[in-house]
């Protein structure tokens, strides 16, 4: 890939031109990062591509080698792995709570101790997510408990 930077005059508008043979996932992620307003997530459903705000996701879950984003009433597929999402997402609100789940802390309504040192998070949409005991301490640290 070739990168060209051109100096412009004071009265010219800054612009980015992207030339590509086809628009793949890496290009879409790059475009989303460059857009004003921050990075949106590229998600898929019913053979369509959608762009959502990370803050709209209640949690991400890995099931059968696929990652899904659970929003208030919709479920989307994400083509990133969970560890890749952790690097991309705002660290102040997203935390890993099990090997297969990343949780949005802003969507937690309540936390309840569960059997075996685990916790159960009740989310604002009424869903429940189990927090594995090995992730409880990092969750409490993020929440300031």
For the stretch 105-141, pLDDT in tens is 999 999 999 888 899 999 999 999 999 999 998 888 8
pLDDT in tens, 24-54: 777 776 766 665 555 688 899 998 999 998 9
Residues 10-16 have a mean pLDDT of 86
For residue 97, give every residue at least 6 positions away whose Cβ sits within 8 Å of its Cβ, in sequence order, or none.
103, 121, 129, 130, 131, 132, 135, 139
Each domain of the chain, given as residue ranges in start order, spans: 25-143
Is 17 strand, coil or helix? coil
| Domain covering 25-143 assigned CATH 2.40.50.1020 in the classification | yes
Q: What is the pLDDT of residue 15?
A: 82
Token pair belonging to 115: 């059997």
**Residue 118: count of CB within 10 angstroms of its CB:** 17
79: region left, alpha or beta (phi > 0 left; psi from -120 to 50 alpha): alpha
Q: What is the pLDDT of residue 81?
A: 93
Q: What is the pLDDT of residue 121?
A: 94
- For the chain, percent of residues with pLDDT exceeding 90: 50
């Amino acid at each position: 890939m070739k990168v060209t930077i051109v100096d412009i005059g004071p009265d010219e508008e800054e612009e980015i031109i992207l030339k590509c043979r086809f628009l793949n996932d890496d290009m879409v992620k790059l475009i989303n990062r460059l857009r004003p307003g921050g990075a949106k997530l590229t998600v898929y459903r019913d053979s369509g591509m959608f762009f959502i705000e990370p803050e709209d996701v209640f949690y991400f879950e890995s099931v059968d080698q696929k990652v899904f984003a659970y929003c208030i009433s919709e479920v989307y597929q994400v083509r990133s792995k969970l560890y890749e999402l952790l690097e991309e997402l705002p660290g102040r609100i997203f935390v890993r709570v099990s090997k297969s789940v990343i949780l949005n802390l802003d969507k937690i309504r309540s936390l309840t101790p569960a059997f075996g040192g685990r916790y159960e998070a009740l989310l604002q949409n009424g869903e429940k997510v189990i927090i594995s005991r090995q992730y409880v301490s990092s969750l409490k640290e993020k929440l300031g408990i």
